[in-house]
């Protein structure tokens, strides 16, 4: 057998300018189907959030299987065999920063066999706990939550993408068992599914009408098409909308000024509330802002909006009593 070829130096200089940072993730799974997560700390990245029990970069010359086994030993103190690593997905991931460090290839595994008792070995985490896939904590690192949710629901593709705005709207959803069952029943109607994506200029008039009916703050300045157009021109992906049968049923604005991350205009159509739309909008908004590297989110919530306050509280937000919002009209 001939030796594998290597790229010539000139070819590498012409085509090797872009690279992906490879990383390995391992979810240990116990005999009850629970996954082991660690609460991150002291990393300046998603500190306080839950993440895979073991994860880390693949070193030069190291296979992703060897990296996975090494990370499990270093972070949890247990030994796993490469043969026991079950592939979940290989994720191509990016972030709006465009920085080289944000161009990733993340390979996720599940593992149901190991030697030893898992325990934290490093100061990069403060807690270790088992969770059912249908009872995950609210704050799970966003791209890892994407994997866990898809794994639980049976919709996770062997090759996935995360953080690409165009792909998020265009990527087809893999068929589920329920889809197959409906296909076998003549005349069975497909369920009404909510889709999510960035608003565009063609949505402006509908957005104005939607906020007039779903908004909670009668004292806010009057919404105008010009104001929404300016927002979209400045940050085309800040305004996230939920649609049902083509109509807008939810919104949130995830704004970032380079210093602070702001969340506002979280609204859901009254007839669509308590369906998880607001929660999913927030998951997507936080994922967008976290990709910029922000360390804290803040939200504008009306004091008398009990339903909204309940949602924000359930998402881990807390009222900051030592601060008050001060406003005055801009000069005209």
Query: What's the CA gap between 262 and 32, in Å, rounded?
Result: 39
Q: Is the domain of 160 the same as that of 63?
A: yes
What pLDDT sits at residue 332? 58
The SS3 assignment for 188 reads coil
Q: Is the domain of 156 the same as that of 201?
A: no
Which DSSP string do the residues of 226-250 spell out, in sequence order?
HHHHHHHHH-TTSEEEEEETTEEEE
CATH, residue 235: 3.40.630.30
Q: Is the domain of 200 the same as that of 252?
A: yes
* Confidence class for position 173, pLDDT limits 50, 70, 90: very low
Mean pLDDT of 278-295: 87
Place of tokens 């012409």: 14
Q: Is the domain of 105 the same as that of 158?
A: yes
Q: Is the domain of 151 the same as that of 248?
A: no
Q: Is the domain of 290 the same as that of 205?
A: yes
The SS3 assignment for 218 reads coil
What pLDDT sits at residue 186? 37
Identify whether 218 is part of a domain: yes
Residues 6+ apart with CB under 8 A from 71: 24, 26, 54, 55, 56
What pLDDT sits at residue 29? 94
Q: Tens of pLDDT along 87-143?
A: 999 999 987 777 788 889 999 999 999 999 999 999 999 999 999 998 999 899 999
CB 89 within 8 A of CB 156: yes
Q: Tens of pLDDT along 185-214?
A: 333 333 457 888 889 888 999 999 999 888
* Residue 127 to residues 39, 52, 141, 233, Cα–Cα distance (Å): 5, 12, 15, 43
Q: Is the domain of 145 the same as that of 29?
A: yes
Buried b (16+ CB within 10 A) or exposed e, 287-322: bbbbbeebeebebebeeeeeebeebbeebebeeeee
Q: Is the domain of 205 the same as that of 255?
A: yes
> What are the residue ranges of helices labelled H in 262-320?
277-290, 306-314
The SS3 assignment for 237 reads coil
Mean pLDDT of 57-82: 96
Domains contained in the chain, number: 2
Lowest mean pLDDT among 3-17, 163-177, 248-262: 163-177
Which DSSP string do the residues of 143-163 spell out, in sequence order?
HHHHHHHHHHHT---SEEEES
The percent helix, strand, coil of the chain (3-state, each to 5) is 30, 25, 45
Give the range of the structural domain holding residue 89, as residue numbers without chain letter. Answer: 18-164
Count of CB atoms situated within 10 Å of the CB of 323? 8
Residues 6+ apart with CB under 8 A from 14: none
What pLDDT sits at residue 182? 36
Q: Is the domain of 279 the same as that of 155?
A: no
Q: Which two tokens stand for residue 241?
A: 């909308």
* Confidence class for position 288, pLDDT limits 50, 70, 90: confident
Q: Is the domain of 112 the same as that of 25?
A: yes
Sign of CA dihedral 195, 196, 197, 198: positive
Whether residue 71 has pLDDT greater than 80:
yes
Identify whether 323 is part of a domain: no
């Amino acid at each position: 057998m001939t030796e594998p070829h290597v790229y010539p130096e000139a070819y590498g200089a012409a085509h090797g300018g872009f690279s992906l940072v490879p990383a390995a993730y391992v979810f240990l799974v116990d005999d009850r189907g629970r996954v082991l997560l660690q609460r991150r700390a002291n990393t300046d990245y998603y500190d306080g959030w839950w993440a895979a029990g073991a994860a880390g970069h693949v070193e030069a010359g190291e296979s992703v299987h060897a990296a996975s086994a090494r990370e499990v030993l270093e972070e949890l103190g247990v030994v796993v065999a490469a043969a026991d690593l079950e592939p979940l997905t290989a994720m191509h991931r990016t972030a709006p920063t465009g920085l080289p460090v944000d161009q990733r290839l993340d390979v996720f595994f599940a593992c149901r066999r190991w030697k030893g008792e898992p325990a934290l070995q490093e100061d990069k985490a403060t807690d270790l706990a088992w969770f059912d896939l249908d009872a995950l904590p609210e704050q799970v690192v966003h791209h890892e939550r994407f994997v866990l949710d898809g794994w639980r629901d049976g919709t996770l593709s062997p090759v996935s993408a995360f953080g690409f705005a165009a792909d998020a709207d265009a990527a087809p959803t893999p068929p589920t068992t329920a889809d197959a069952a409906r296909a076998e029943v003549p005349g069975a109607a497909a369920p009404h599914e909510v889709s999510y994506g960035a608003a565009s200029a063609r949505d402006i008039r509908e957005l104005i009408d939607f906020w007039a009916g779903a908004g909670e703050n009668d004292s806010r300045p009057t919404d105008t098409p010009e104001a929404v157009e300016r927002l979209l021109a400045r940050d085309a992906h800040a305004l996230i909308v939920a649609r049902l049968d083509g109509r807008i049923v939810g919104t949130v604005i995830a704004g970032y000024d380079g210093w602070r991350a702001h969340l506002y205009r979280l609204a859901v159509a009254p007839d669509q509330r308590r369906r998880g739309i607001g929660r999913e909008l927030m998951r997507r908004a936080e994922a967008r802002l976290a990709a910029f590297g922000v360390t804290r989110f803040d939200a504008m919530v009306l004091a008398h909006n009990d339903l909204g306050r309940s949602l924000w509280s359930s998402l881990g937000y807390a009222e900051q009593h030592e601060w008050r919002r001060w406003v005055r009209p801009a000069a005209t």
